Amino acid sequence: MTELPRPGADARDALRRIRWAFHTCRTTNPTLYAACWLNALVGMVFPAGAALAVRGLVNTVNEGLSSAAAFRAEAIYLWLLLGFAATVGTVVTGSAHRYLSRRFEIDLHYRLQLDILLHNEATAFARFEDPQFHDALRRAQEEPEAHVARCLVYTLDLLTSAVQIVSLMAILFVIEPILFLLLVPIGIPYLLFQWRLSRRQFEEVDARVEKQRWIAYHSSVLGSEEQAAEIKLLGLAPLFIERCRALMTEFRDLRAKYQRFEFLGNLVFALFSVVAIYFAMSRAAFSIIDGRLTIGDLAIYGSAAAQLRGLVENGIALIASLRWELLHVGNLRAFFALPQEAPQQAAAAPAPLAGGIAFRDVSFTYPGADKPTLKDLSFTIEPGETVALVGDNGAGKTTIAKLIAGLHRPTGGAVLFDGVDARDIDVGHLRREVTCLFQHFGRYAASAADNIAFGDWERLLDDDAGIEAAARAAGVHELVSAMPQGYRTMLGRAFGQYEPSGGQWQQLAIARAIARDARILILDEPTASLDVDTEYRLFLRYRALAEGRTILLISHRFSTVRMADRILVLDAGKVVESGTHDALMQLNGRYAALYELHRRHLGAT
C-alpha cells in the first residue's frame, strides 16, 4: 500500500502548522481575523488594571480610616471607576472572544469542507482503492474547522495569558517575590506532564482511525436501505451492534484513562500551587505587621496570586490543547499534501479521438498486491470496432477498462489512443472521449431527468429536449413517463418519492451512458441483472446507437459476446486467444471450453 504523509512532531513543524492555520483563518474571513487580534490585544490590559484598582481602593479607604484629613472621596470614586471599567472590559472582551471563535468555526466549516471535497475530486482514482487514503480522508474530515479555529483562538489566548501573567508577576514580585520562586518549579513539571499527555493521547486515538471507520461502516450498514432486508432476514443487526459496542467501549476506556491522568495531574498542581500562594501570603501578612507593606498590598497580593494561579494553570492547559489541535491540523495538511491529478499539457492538439486503442506491453499492479494483474499485455482495437473481453474472474478485464478510461495509469508499457500515448493526452479530454457503464453503476438521489443528464451534464443538465432524446434512444422514455412526475420524479428513498427497481435503475444508467457523445464506449457487465433476452435486445440497440464508435464489451453471457466483431480471451492477465466467435469455436481452445460450459449451464437451468 502507498505510504501517505503523516504529520511531524518537531517544533519547526508545529510553527509551520500555526502559520498555515493563521493563513487559513485570515483568507477565510479577514475581518473576523482582525477582530480576533484586536479583541485579544485589548483584553490583555484589563486583569492587571482591575488588580491595581483594588489595591488603590483599599489603600485609599485605609488612609481615610487612619486619618480623616487624608480621606479623599474623589479618589475612591476614581478607583471604583477604574475597577468598574476594567471589569466591564474583561466581561465584554470575554464575550466577544467566545462569539468570534464560534463565528470563525462557522465560516471555516464551509471553507474547509469544500476544500476537502475539491481536493478529493482532484485525487487520482487509484487512491480510492487504497485503505490508507480513506484513513487520511477520515482524519481530515474530523471537525477540521474546529481544529483550525482553535489554533488561532488558543494562540491568542496564550499571548493574552502570557501578558497577564507577566503583569501580575511584576506586581507580585514588587510586593513579595517568593511566589515567583515557588510557582516556577511547580509549573514546569506540570507543563511537561500536560505536553506529553496530549501527545500520547493523540497518538493512541489517531492509531485507531481504522477502527473508527469500522464503527462508521457498521452504523451506515445498519441504516442502509439496500441492505436492510438481508440484515433483517439474517438477523445480522445484533452481531454488527456488538462489534460497534466492542469498538466504542475501547474508545470510551481509552478516553477515560487519559481523563484520570489529567485529573490527577491537575489535582497535584492545584494543591501545590495553593500551598505556595498561602505561604507567600503569610509572608506578606507579616510584612504588613513589620510595616514594610500596606493592607492594600495584601489585598492585591491575595487577589493577584489567585488570578495568577488560575492563569498559569489555564496557560499550561492551553499549551497542551494547542498541541492537540496542531496535531490534528497536521493530519489536515497531510491530506492536502496528497498529490492531485492535475490536468496535463497535451503534446497533441485535443482533437476528437477516432477510437483506435492499442496496448503495448502493458503491466499493472494494484497497490499492496503481491503480483501484477496485467503483465506485458499487447493488443489493438481498430476505430469503430466492437471487441469483447472474455475470461475468468480476476483475469484483468475490468482493469483493462479502467486503464482505457484513464482511471489508472499502467505501471509498465503504454496505452495508445490513435497512436498517441495516453500520458501525452490531457486526462479531462480523454475522459470526455470515453463513456463507461460499469456493473456497479450510480443510483443518484436526483430527478429521473438528472440521472440521464449526468452522462453529459455540462451539455444536457438544462436541456429537456436533449434528455428526452437520450431517453428515447435508450428505450426508457416510456419507463420515465410512467413515473409519478415523469422526468421530474425524484428517485431514491433518501430524498425522493419513487424507488425504481434494480432493472429500472440499470436502464437509466444505460441511458446516461448513451447520453455522452463519446467515441469509445465501455460496457463492463452493465446488464448482469437483466435476463438474457433483454440484454440481447439492449446490445442490438447499442450497436445501432453507437455505430462508428469503438465498443469494448465485457460480459459473461456468450449470446451477447458472440455478436462482437472480435473476441479477446484473457487468462492470467494475457491475451491467449483472439478472433470471431466462429473462428474461436473452430480453434477449440480456451474460448470454446468457456462457451461449452456456459451452454451446459443454460441447459441445466
Tell me if 240 is assigned to some domain: no
Nearest 5°: CA angle at 73, between 70 and 74?
Answer: 110
Total domains present in the chain:
3
Element (H, E) at 472: helix 464-474
The pLDDT tens digits for 231-251 are 777 788 888 889 888 999 988
Whole-angstrom distance, CA of residue 134 vs CA of residue 126:
12
- Residue 447 and residue 461 in one domain: yes
- Residue 330 and residue 369 in one domain: no
Q: Any idea which residue has 464575550 for its cell?
A: 95
Residue at a domain's end among 494, 517, 540:
517
- Residue 480 and residue 544 in one domain: no
Tell me if 232 is assigned to some domain: no
Residue (of 50, 297, 311, 270) closest to 172 by Cα position: 297
- Residue 503 and residue 546 in one domain: no
Whole-angstrom distance, CA of residue 72 vs CA of residue 75:
5
> What SS3 state is found at 360?
strand
Domain that holds residue 474: 443-517
Q: What is the pTM of this model?
A: 0.67
- Residue 502 and residue 530 in one domain: no
> What SS3 state is found at 47?
helix
Residue at a domain's end among 517, 532, 557:
517
Whole-number pLDDT of residue 482:
93
Whole-number pLDDT of residue 442:
84
Element (H, E) at 605: none
Whole-number pLDDT of residue 298:
66
- Residue 316 and residue 376 in one domain: no
Whole-number pLDDT of residue 348:
47
Tell me if 285 is assigned to some domain: yes
Residue at a domain's end among 517, 535, 556:
517
- Residue 566 and residue 594 in one domain: yes
Whole-number pLDDT of residue 452:
92
- Residue 512 and residue 526 in one domain: no
Whole-number pLDDT of residue 526:
65
Whole-angstrom distance, CA of residue 555 vs CA of residue 542:
14
pLDDT < 50 stretches in the chain: 1-8, 346-349, 604-605
Whole-number pLDDT of residue 545:
67
The pLDDT tens digits for 107-129 are 998 898 888 888 887 777 767 77
Whole-number pLDDT of residue 527:
63
CATH of the domain at 508: 3.40.50.300
Tell me if 233 is assigned to some domain: no
- Residue 46 and residue 155 in one domain: yes
What one-character-per-residue DSSP string does 195-221 give? Answer: HHHHHHHHHHHHTTHHHHHHHHHHHHH
Tell me if 289 is assigned to some domain: yes
Whole-angstrom distance, CA of residue 586 vs CA of residue 94:
87
- Residue 52 and residue 198 in one domain: yes
- Residue 157 and residue 92 in one domain: yes
- Residue 506 and residue 539 in one domain: no
Whole-number pLDDT of residue 84:
85
Whole-number pLDDT of residue 30:
93
